[in-house]
Amino acid sequence: MRDGVVVHGARRSRDIALTFDACPTSHVPGFSAAIVAYLAREQVPATFFVSGRWAESHPQDLAQLEAVPFFEIALHGYRHHRLNGAPQAAILAEIQDGQQALVRLGAHPRALFRPPFGDQPRVLASTAHAAGVTPILWDVAPGDPNPQETAADIERDVLHQVQGGSIIVLHVNGRGVGTADALPTLVPRLRERGFRFVTVSDLLQECTPAVQPVADGSAHQ
């Protein structure tokens, strides 16, 4: 944990978490079905940090994520605005508006919040905790939105950076340029190294009490 924000799980563990952000995007298509199909076929648990605006424009894709029992949905704000320098009220609105949008669409998001762009304003942790959610960043970032980052680059970067307890950030919203092509090589190689894929909630259980789903439109633990 760094300044009250979770960056990775227990280093003594061999568990790691694959996470995929779903940000509002003008990319077409705005959803990488190939990523989800591969994870589902190989039974790879994953956490999807979903923004409210993306969910509103992709309700069927959100329902597809929600239907897979070893996936979990988490919060990624609503508008996907920059939070560095933002007042506390704006940070709280990103959390609550995003949460309400997901619940309204029938999702059951966990009480986990990834700030847009990975921004970490000074009041992020205190605001998130006051809203009943745990702020989540990452320690492995292969940079898959970069069109110059090929599948081989993603594989190399992840394998070089990963450790026990790592949280890996990728994208499922059409900005993960080489991600779908990287996963069929990356997942077996990580398993060969003895790593086990878990959700972020499961990763945190080794350090903290279980993270509960958001219920009745209010985040809580």
Counted domains in the chain: 1
CATH number assigned to the domain comprising residue 169: 3.20.20.370
The answer to the question of residue 129 being in a domain is: yes
Mean pLDDT of 110-115: 97
Q: Of 169, 97, 172, 87, whose CA–CA distance to 136 is shortest?
A: 169
Domain that holds residue 105: 15-205
What was the pLDDT predicted at 1?
67
Q: Of 30, 17, 34, whose CA–CA distance to 184 is shortest?
A: 34
Q: Residue 221 pLDDT more than 70?
A: no
What tens digit of pLDDT does each residue of 55-65 get? Answer: 999 999 999 99
Q: Residue 219 pLDDT more than 60?
A: no
What was the pLDDT predicted at 215?
45
Residue 153 CA to its chain's centroid (Å): 21
The answer to the question of residue 220 being in a domain is: no
What was the pLDDT predicted at 208?
57
What was the pLDDT predicted at 210?
45
